[in-house]
Chains A and B, each alone.
Chain A
């Protein structure tokens, strides 16, 4: 399948432990991510989602099974630089990712390391700033920015490496509600306008609801997979995996149960308001 950017087959991974037996973090996971797709991976803390994501750019190597990125095995040492260029990572805490004292220098760091010519770096930095709507912060010091803005800068830094895919590991966990909204909106835009494949890890269900496809992980396995609507129709199953329905879906499902003609799987607040608007007439 040449359309698959990420192809993981029967992937297992065990963390070594100094004292006890090895802890199995992934247990026979198979997943494909197509080029240009956006996928949300959810699951409670410790479900294995970060461990899975770290296999997608060769930060971790499978204990069993295999991972192909653009058809290249992550276990082949010579593939790693190519894979890391294709798949960028953004972590939970932007402070762990920002290193320079000026925003534009931070964004230039990646391409500089790749040996990109100066002129080209300038073009890439300009582009990343523009796409992330950060032009006004170009000469700021990252430590003067809000957490949300820092996270946007971290994403811009990855963007300047011109990856085909960006993996974001709970990128909104430390942000306030406004920062959260800014980050998810710009990432959705990256997918739509730049065609970048997005893998988004979260346990905020209202974030997952914005993706075309979502996966739920539990105890190192993928336990549910489908569109947000498909998944959110199964409220009690989700609860068993330690997750909640989005507030909008709770409202829709509650009204549906009371006998009103409302789809119980609505995930978008606007859609809920529109349906209720129709019902009122």
Chain B
């Protein structure tokens, strides 16, 4: 299910003295089954952009085409479209509203007018996909969940609508290291096994660099880079100019290169870095 934007622009308070341009003439395509990291500093416009992709915003100018459907066309069924492109918000408290986990996850499928058995089935499958045990959590009060469990419940609620694409808006914020690893593993499996298109929004490059096949960098409402993670991380000076912090590994690799280490420019994880430094040291007789 391809998603495309053509000349997409958007301003807050348009037509008033407080008008503030958020998105400027964005052309963007995402192919079926891609895993894209959408990265940008705070207030770069990335969330506003992403919320156009499932018609939470309708373009003021330009077009957004999802699976051939124009979101601004009044014949387009926006409810259907939002079920096809699921959106997981940064704060799960904005997304969860039913009293119990099971009721919350069932909300989408019930809205799709599915019969009881099918709804039940969707809830079971979705809970299984995010690793929430059905018997333990189905009747659990939303407020009795931990931060990580809330994220999972929020993702399950979106998955229960059987989306073809998932937009994940800074979903690891506030999670501890294991909680974050769990969520990232779940996302990776959904992508690999179900071929779900993933748009992974983040203000830092660390997670996207390792997970995504493609990174799109957005700044001041424009897409300014669009490439494979390794290629993006090579452009250290440009990234720094944008105020985007490099992953710690990349930062250390750069410093080592400055002091004369010969290291590949496209290292993205600790294991690769250890291997490369060890190789450079052995070659230089540093042992």
Contact = CB atoms under 8 A, between A and B. Distances in A.
Interface of A: 44-46, 92, 146-148, 170, 173-174, 176-179, 181, 203, 206, 242-244, 246-248, 250-251, 254-255, 258-261, 269-270, 272-273, 276-277, 279-280
Interface in B221-268: 243-245, 247-249, 251-252, 255-256, 259-261
A259 B287 contact: yes
A280 B260 contact: yes
Given A176-B42, A251-B274, A242 B176 contact: yes
Contacts of A279: 281, 286
Contacts, number: 101
B41 interface: yes
B74 interface: no
A273 B256 contact: yes
A28 B212 CA distance: 45
Given A45-B148, A251-B273, A272 B177 contact: no
B205 to A, nearest CB: 8
Contacts of A147: 42
Contacts of B273: 251
Given A44-B176, A242-B178, A146 B259 contact: no
Given A176-B42, A176-B204, A280 B261 contact: yes
Interface string B179-218: 1000000000000000000000001100000000000000
B249 A251 contact: yes
A254 to B, nearest CB: 4
B146 interface: yes
B56 interface: no
A270 B256 CA distance: 10
Nearest to A43: B176
16 contacts: A45-B148, A146-B43, A174-B173, A174-B174, A176-B245, A177-B244, A203-B176, A242-B176, A247-B247, A251-B252, A260-B286, A269-B248, A269-B252, A269-B255, A273-B252, A277-B256
Contacts of A92: 174
Contacts of A277: 256, 259-260
Contacts of B147: 45
A246 B259 CA distance: 22
B175 A280 contact: no
A258 to B, nearest CB: 5
Contact of A255 (B259, B261, B278): B278
Nearest to B250: A247
Nearest to B254: A273
Contacts of A174: 173-174
A259 B203 CA distance: 37
A260 B278 contact: yes
Contact of B177 (A242, A258, A259, A276): A242
Q: Tell which of B245, B271, B280 has the most Cβ of chain A within 10 Å.
A: B245
A181 B251 CA distance: 14
A272 B281 contact: no
B277 interface: yes
A264 to B, nearest CB: 12
In order of increasing CB-CB distance, the 8 nearest A-B pairs are A177-B245, A176-B203, A254-B274, A247-B248, A44-B176, A203-B176, A173-B174, A273-B255
B274 A179 contact: no
B175 A45 contact: yes
Contact of A247 (B245, B270, B284): B270
A89 to B, nearest CB: 18
A89 B136 CA distance: 36
A45 B174 CA distance: 9
Contacts of B178: 44, 242
Nearest to B148: A45
Contacts of A247: 247-249, 252, 270
B177 A203 contact: yes
A75 B71 CA distance: 59
Contacts of B41: 176, 178
A206 B252 CA distance: 14
Interface string B1-30: 000000000000000000000000000000
B287 A170 contact: no
Interface in B108-166: 146-148
A251 B173 contact: no
Contacts of B173: 173-174
A45 B152 CA distance: 15
Contacts of B256: 273, 276-277
A280 B285 CA distance: 8
A44 B180 CA distance: 11
